[in-house]
Amino acid sequence: MEAETVALMTLESPDALVLLTAKGHVAHWSKGAQSIFGYSEQEAAGQHWETLSVPADQAIEPGLHIQETLSLGTVTYEAVRRRKDGSLLYVDVTTKLVRTANLEPMVLSAEKDVTTIKVLRDAKLMEARFRDLLESTPDGIVMANPTGHIVIANSQAERLFGYSEGELRGRSVDALLPERYRKAHVGHRSNYFLQPRKRAMGSGLDLSGLRKDGSEFPIEISLSPLRTEESAFVMSAIRDISERKRFEKALQEKNLELANANQAKDRFLASMSHELRTPLNAIIGFTGTLLMKLPGPLNDEQQKQLKTVQSSARHLLALINDLLDVSKIEAGKVELHLEAVDARALLDEVADTLQPQAISKGLTLAVQGPALGSMIHTDRRALSQIVLNLAGNALKFTERGYVRLILAPGVNGAATIHIEDTGIGISKDDQGKLFGAFSRVRNERPDAPEGTGLGLHLSQKLAELLGGKIVFRSESGKGSTFSLMLPGD
**CB neighbours of residue 199 within 10 Å:** 16
Q: Are residues 306 and 368 in the same domain?
A: no
- pLDDT exceeds 90 at position 426: no
Give the residue with greater pLDDT, 66 vs 488.
Answer: 66
- The verdict on residue 252 lying in a domain is no
- The verdict on residue 170 lying in a domain is yes
- The verdict on residue 481 lying in a domain is yes
Q: Which domain holds residue 14?
A: 2-113
What CA–CA distance (Å, rounded) separates 23 from 105? 10
- The verdict on residue 406 lying in a domain is yes
Residue 20's pLDDT is: 92
Domain boundary among 79, 94, 113: 113
Q: Are residues 457 and 346 in the same domain?
A: yes
Give the residue with greater pLDDT, 327 vs 235.
Answer: 235
Q: Are residues 144 and 232 in the same domain?
A: yes
Predicted structure pTM score: 0.49
Give the residue with greater pLDDT, 384 vs 315.
Answer: 384
Mean per-residue pLDDT of the chain = 83
- The verdict on residue 249 lying in a domain is no
Element (H, E) at 19: strand 16-21
Domain boundary among 185, 206, 240: 240
Give the residue with greater pLDDT, 155 vs 454.
Answer: 155
What CA–CA distance (Å, rounded) separates 489 from 486? 10
* Residue 245 identity (one-letter amino acid): K
Q: Are residues 67 and 107 in the same domain?
A: yes
Domain boundary among 94, 113, 132: 113
Backbone dihedral angles phi then psi of residue 225, each to the nearest 5 degrees: -75, 150
Q: Are residues 122 and 231 in the same domain?
A: yes
- Reduce the DSSP state of residue 482 to 3 states and report it: strand
Q: Can you give the CATH number for the domain in which 374 is found?
A: 3.30.565.10
- pLDDT by residue (tens digit) across 114-135? 988 888 888 888 888 888 888 8
What CA–CA distance (Å, rounded) separates 13 from 360? 110
Number of residues assigned to the chain: 489
Give the residue with greater pLDDT, 260 vs 332.
Answer: 260
**Widest CA span of the chain, in angstroms?**
138
Give the residue with greater pLDDT, 405 vs 285.
Answer: 405
* Residue 90 identity (one-letter amino acid): Y
Element (H, E) at 25: none
Q: Are residues 88 and 28 in the same domain?
A: yes
Element (H, E) at 264: helix 242-271
Percentage above 70 pLDDT, the chain: 87
Residue 206's pLDDT is: 67
Across residues 41-69, what is the average pLDDT? Answer: 86
* Helix, strand, coil share (%) of the chain residues, nearest 5: 45, 25, 30
- The verdict on residue 246 lying in a domain is no
- pLDDT by residue (tens digit) across 63-77? 888 899 999 999 999
- The verdict on residue 359 lying in a domain is yes
Highest mean pLDDT among 160-164, 168-172, 323-327: 160-164
Give the residue with greater pLDDT, 368 vs 322.
Answer: 368
Q: Are residues 344 and 470 in the same domain?
A: yes
Give the residue with greater pLDDT, 488 vs 69.
Answer: 69
- pLDDT exceeds 80 at position 463: yes
Lowest mean pLDDT among 17-31, 168-182, 258-272, 350-364: 258-272
Lowest mean pLDDT among 246-260, 281-295, 335-349, 458-472: 281-295
Q: Are residues 107 and 122 in the same domain?
A: no
If pLDDT is split at 50, 70 and 90, which confidence band does 266 have? Answer: low
DSSP label of 171: S
- The verdict on residue 125 lying in a domain is yes
What CA–CA distance (Å, rounded) separates 51 from 471? 66
- pLDDT exceeds 80 at position 205: no
Q: How many domains are contained in the chain?
A: 4
If pLDDT is split at 50, 70 and 90, which confidence band does 198 have? Answer: low
- pLDDT by residue (tens digit) across 211-225? 999 999 999 888 888
Residue 1's pLDDT is: 43
- pLDDT exceeds 80 at position 438: no
Cβ neighbours for 320, distance < 8 A, ≥ 6 positions apart: 276, 277, 280
Q: Can you give the CATH number for the domain in which 132 is found?
A: 3.30.450.20
223: closest CA among 242, 239, 203, 237? 237
Q: Are residues 125 and 232 in the same domain?
A: yes
Q: Are residues 269 and 130 in the same domain?
A: no
Q: Are residues 369 and 472 in the same domain?
A: yes
Q: Are residues 281 and 164 in the same domain?
A: no
- For the CA atoms of 274, 278, 280, 286, the dihedral, rounded to the nearest 10 degrees, stands at 170
Give the residue with greater pLDDT, 199 vs 377.
Answer: 377
**Residue 119 burial by CB count (10 A; 0-12/13-18/19+): exposed, middle or buried?**
buried
- pLDDT exceeds 50 at position 444: no
What CA–CA distance (Å, rounded) separates 395 from 482? 13
- Reduce the DSSP state of residue 222 to 3 states and report it: strand
Element (H, E) at 487: none
- Helix ranges, 331-378 (H): 343-360
Could you tell me if residue 410 is left (phi over 0), alpha (psi between -120 and 50 degrees) or otherwise beta? beta
